[in-house]
Chain A
Amino acid sequence: MTTSRPSPHAQNAVGKSTDHTSETDDLTAMREVVRTQAERHQVVTAPRWPGGARIAVNFTADFDAMLLRRLLDEPPMQRAKGEFGGRVGIWRLLELFDGHGIKTTLFVPGRISQLYPDAVRAWARSGHEIADHMWEHRVPADPQVERTHLLRSTEALEQLSGRRPIGTRSWHSPELLAELGYRYNSHDAADHRPYFTTHDGFRLVNLPFHYAFDDAQFFSFAWLDTDNAAQRIADPERVLELWWDAFRQQYRHGGYLNLCLHPFLSGRAMRIAMLDRLISRMKQLPGVWFTGCEDVTQHCLGLEEEH
């Protein structure tokens, strides 16, 4: 009952396939991939942000807390490490963003919204977007169960935030997302700008999520099951400079930046202080549109209508 569809981000498998087909078949299959990829993707090359803004910045937080640790059957102290996100980190991030008066998106697994309802309500009350992060941070292999999960998560979030989510960070099937009213996904990076993907009769907005802008890659020990020699052990100063550099580059070119934070990591006091400095630096420049993913999605959909 709990078999799951593996995350497409199980990157360790990339390039390691042992499947073999005959050379001709393989080339045919490759041509088909190239053709459908080209048909499926359409990049927003001229975003024309509202008010002449030069860049749209989506600060996002994935409120997994200990759920993924639990899902991966990690030991009690690992789950307690995630619990920091629910007890402490989620509140500090809210205070940080509200202090700067910027709107963000909180991606919440339905289960976690029921464990920490006060936190989710508080984010919604402050005007932040509450979006889906899968019922329990997995996508069931059985499509019927998958539908039950997404519906349950959607309703749980709607009940707390008062609004039905239109966004997700997940690998739910596009068809199911469309059926339940979802307009965007923020889980992949086929481009550094927002892009549309076309499916059977509908389109989804995609807001690029990239691991270079994920706090976990820098701060979470054993992230994605990595072994000890692969740990990054980054200090906040290093990440501040990397992210500031990325922001500057996008700012110059009229782009987009989506930063992914985990309350159990970025909620640590030293990292909140780092994010405070990062946001303060960003705010010194004119034309920075800090907003939630929903606003960027609506803007992109509006551009599409103009066409």
Chain B
Amino acid sequence: MSAAGLLLAAVLAGQLDAAGVGRAVAAHRGRPVVLALWATWCEPCIKDFPALEALARERKDVAFISVSIDEPEDRKTLEAFVAGRRPPFPVYVRAAGPDQAFIDGVDREWSGVVPVTLVYDRDGRRLGLLQGEHTRADIEKALARAKAAR
């Protein structure tokens, strides 16, 4: 891999399977967590990415994790996108494997649609599942509920 390629690859936090996503969420126990799953081919995901970044910069009390479901053939596009934006949260990429095992492993209520954002309370309970197009306000509402839950 070229030096430029190594630099680009370094912008990603690593690969996660569904169990890894669960561990990444659990690592933030004690804080609400926003888990965003997206893809570079998903137009609403790209359109709303800046809003997610802005929210993450404002909400230091919340852990933000993002996981791209891009296929390996889209990796260069993904790396260039992340390198260009430098989001204030780690961006993982889904490890190779069957789609359905990943979808159900992350959350059985998830249909497989992207974008999807899951919001967990400080005890790791998933209180929000925002499937398809949604707004920053929708995430904030779920976070308010996560904060209130105890």
The judgment on whether A and B are partners is no
Using CB atoms and an 8 Å cutoff, list the residues of chain B in contact with chain A.
Answer: none
Using CB atoms and an 8 Å cutoff, list the residues of chain A in contact with chain B.
Answer: none
